Amino acid sequence: MSLLSISSVSKTYGRDARALIDVSLVVPAGARTAIVGPSGSGKTTLLKLIAGFERPDAGRITLEGAVLAGEGVHVPAHKRGIGIVSQDGALFPHLTVGENIGFGLPKRQDGRDRRIAALMAMVELDADMLSRRPHQLSGGQQQRVALARALALEPRLMLLDEPFSALDTGLRDTMRRTVSRILAASGTTSILVTHDQGEALSFADHVAVFREGRLVQAGSPQSLYRCPADRQTALFLGDAVLLEATVAAGQAETVLGSIPVGSTDKASTGTASTSLVMLRPEQLRIRWLGLGEADLVKGARARVLDSEFGGGLCRLTVEVGEGPARTVLDLRVSGFDVAAPGETVAIEVVGQGHVLPA
């Protein structure tokens, strides 16, 4: 069941800054949705429209079937029942942690202190931090307070605008997992906005990719990663190996051999057509042919042009194919057995390729 529905929403700032163009998106109840796109793609604008801080020029936004914006309606932000956590947490600096968390709760409500304590526990903050002020907390702790403050109001929907981007890398991953767990445990439907595709793919059940104000593609993290709508999305969501191919009857003929491809219109037509086939780097099994067992190893042969040691994950630049078919590929291999320039490796493809539109 959908909780939030966005239909044909557009937003232009001033005369010609088109921030969102005809965006339609459905957010399922209870799910975690990620909106991912490069800076300036309209992500924050969409959150502002949902929260009620901006008005759409066209289109309609509904929550649980009721119109929030559009059709002459504009429900004020504080009446929408939507929680927000922003990049910097935006805590009140002069209030304690407890006062920040309890800010929206009625002052003389029974059990108020117990509720604040429960929220502290929920976001995994020690009770002895209750009387601290925001500047006495780490970035990650401040974000937990911001989350607790938003959860205190039991929002119907939680919006998170790049809430981890100000944190260090290690802490960012930990916080992402913590927040994901807390939202799942409280059953809160949430939308995370991020420019980090790894964060989007690991946080969400449902991902929407934005580019230049438009929704490019939406779906499960797995389907987007494996079957991106176009080349740009493929490269935005991760490293990709792109191969020119002749595609017919579910098979792509490439410089790495014949690769099965998923059923797209193109792949299933009888007539062969030239296309671009995408593989993710982890679909390539790369083996070094240095031990005299070369005849036994399956896969296309590639000459190593360059290798760069990088610890657990190393880069290998290889060329495969001859003459006009010669293709240079950038690959990733484990640091355990990196081949040197001039050596030969075998490349075997695992799983299906994905045909990209020309």
Q: List residues binding Mg ion (CB under 5 A).
A: 44
Q: Select from ligand ADP, Mg ion, none the partner in contact with residue 65, using the beta carbon and a kind-dependent cut-off of 5 to 8 Å.
A: none
Q: Which is nearer to ligand ADP, 41 or 100 (CB)?
A: 41
Q: What is the 3-state secondary structure (H, E, C) of 32-84?
A: EEEEECCCCCCHHHHHHHHHCCCCCCEEEEEECCEEEEECCEECCHHHCCEEE
* Cβ closest to ligand ADP, residue 53 vs residue 92: 53
Closest to Mg ion by CB, 44 vs 275, is 44
Q: How far is the CB of 10 from ligand ADP (least distance, A)?
A: 12
Q: Which does 42 bind (CB under 5 to 8 A by kind): ligand ADP, Mg ion, none?
A: ligand ADP
Give the pair of three-digit tokens for residue 349: 């493809």
* Among Mg ion, ligand ADP, none, residue 17 binds (CB under 5-8 Å by kind): ligand ADP
Is 19 among the residues that bind ligand ADP (CB under 6 A)?
yes
Contact set for ligand ADP, span 24-83 (CB under 6 A): 37, 39-45
Tell me whether residue 46 or residue 146 sits nearer to ligand ADP (CB atom).
46
Among 8, 17, 131, 313, binds ligand ADP (CB under 6 A): 17
Shortest-Cβ-distance residue relative to Mg ion = 44
Stretch that binds ligand ADP, among 13-21, 199-207, 238-246, 318-326 (CB under 6 A): 13-21
CA distances from 325 to 168, 244, 254, 322 (A): 44, 9, 9, 5
Identity of the residue numbered 198? G
CA neighbor of 314 nearest in space, from 342, 291, 338, 295: 338
Residues 75-134 that bind ligand ADP (CB under 6 A): none
Residues at the site binding ligand ADP, with contacts judged by CB under 6 A: 13-14, 17, 19, 37, 39-45
